[in-house]
Structure 1
């Protein structure tokens, strides 16, 4: 798990409320139900209207992943592929069918079954690349949906402010209340900006980054699987795949032991 999103959001909102305390204001001055309803519900509503129900459901399904930030371990993938290469060289491609059940990655499992079924290299490449493209397309839907909310939120906040100001203008005969009413009206604009820049856009960017990392891991798997299909020796395959890993993933520690970290783990 990479807690970057959780840490970042806590720091951002912490900074905002710290500013309120330093200015002598109370958090209750901005935690007003009416402006927050128009901003959050209104933004989500127009986000739904701008796409499809399937887009909204895909974004909701992907949301927990943005906070977990978990991406497959590339180092473990390399070790798995090297072990599979040894099996293929020793027992032949048909022996890979017995390894399908133990493959946790759907891409690897599908490729192993295809190799055992006797598909040629071009067909295998096309199949794996189609799987990658489908995964990238699905990931892009969620990221785009949250980025869309980030674009709508400030404008929805302004709409909330304008609606509140019309109520202010109806009460010009009560000058003692005008200051409070005007301040409350601008809370909608505040939450529009805050929700866009503290919530929606960071989540959209986070999902996009996680999708990039997963795409890199899947490309690594594809290269390894195609090499296994062509009969590449395990030692040669290891060198090839380790050359594709990020430098931080292959750098040894001062004691000479490999660095213990989850490769391709999400970063802020």
Structure 2
């Protein structure tokens, strides 16, 4: 579970409701069923119209991506590739066949299989890059669902407010109820803007972030696969792949930083 997604949503909603209550508001004033029906129902309807059924079926997967954090261990992948490079230099690439068939990562398994099968390096690169593009496009399509919801929700809120004001203006004979009715009408706008900026758009941003993480990891594996196929030195492969790790300084840059720190001391 990605606790940061839950924490962010809870903090955002708590800040809004808490600020309202500190100003002397009452919680009942925020609980308006008709406004919720108009905003959330209208947003769901607009999203359904905007996307094909096949893409909407991926919604549970999109929520899983946003609320669950996949355990990634790039160091382990690098070590595996380095070990395989060492084995390939000693016994040839055919010795990797068993590991290629059993590896848990489908992208790396596919690349290793092509190496063992003797696929042309350029073709190997093209096929794996197509797989990367497909994964990136899939993440983008999932994020678009929530981006669209984030765009529709404020508009639905405005529609709900206008509908509420129309109702208010049609009942001017009862001035005593005008203030409460107007407040109720504007609750729809609050629902629309709040849900867009605390739920829908942040979830879309989280899915895009997951896409970037996945893409970087696949780029690292692709580089390792091509290096394996080229028979490069295992330690050079390690140095090359380590550069994909976030926040890592390798090679001359790290040495230069260490020298600068020493001089500063």
Q: Distance in 1 between matches of 2:249 and 2:132?
A: 23
Q: Given the two structures, how large is their TM-score scaled by the length of structure 2?
A: 0.90
1:256 aligned residue: none
User: Are the aligned partners of 2:242 and 2:248 in contact in 1 as well (CA < 8 Å)?
Assistant: no
Cα deviation, residue 175, structure 1: 1.2
Cα deviation, residue 87, structure 1: 2.2
Q: Distance in 1 between matches of 2:12 and 2:32?
A: 19
For structure 1, the 5+ residue unaligned runs are 253-268
The answer to whether structure 1 residue 99 and structure 2 residue 99 are counterparts is yes
3-state SS of 1:62 partner: helix
3-state SS of 1:85 partner: helix
Residues 105-126 of structure 1: per-residue CA shift (max 9 Å, x gap) = 1100111111111111011101
3-state SS of 1:100 partner: helix
Q: Given the two structures, how large is their TM-score scaled by the length of structure 1?
A: 0.89
Cα deviation, residue 73, structure 1: 2.2
> What is the total number of aligned residue pairs between the two structures?
252
The answer to whether structure 1 residue 133 and structure 2 residue 146 are counterparts is no
Residues 87-112 of structure 1: per-residue CA shift (max 9 Å, x gap) = 22222111222003431211001111
1:70 aligned residue: 70
Change beyond 3 A, Cα 1:208–1:249:
farther
Cα deviation, residue 199, structure 1: 0.6
Residues 198-246 of structure 1: per-residue CA shift (max 9 Å, x gap) = 1111001111111011111110110001100111121111111112322
> What are the equivalent positions in structure 2 for 1:84-123 lying under 5 Å apart?
84-123=84-123
Q: Distance in 2 between matches of 1:180 and 1:145?
A: 35
Cα deviation, residue 2, structure 1: 4.1
> Displaced runs of 4+ in structure 1, greater than 3 A?
none
Q: Distance in 2 between matches of 1:45 and 1:82?
A: 51
User: Are the aligned partners of 2:150 and 2:200 in contact in 1 as well (CA < 8 Å)?
Assistant: yes
With a CA cutoff of 8 Å and minimum separation of 6, indicate the structure with the bigger relative contact order: 1
Q: Which has the higher helix share?
A: 2
1:28 aligned residue: 28
Over the residues paired in the alignment, what is the CA RMSD in angstroms? Answer: 1.8
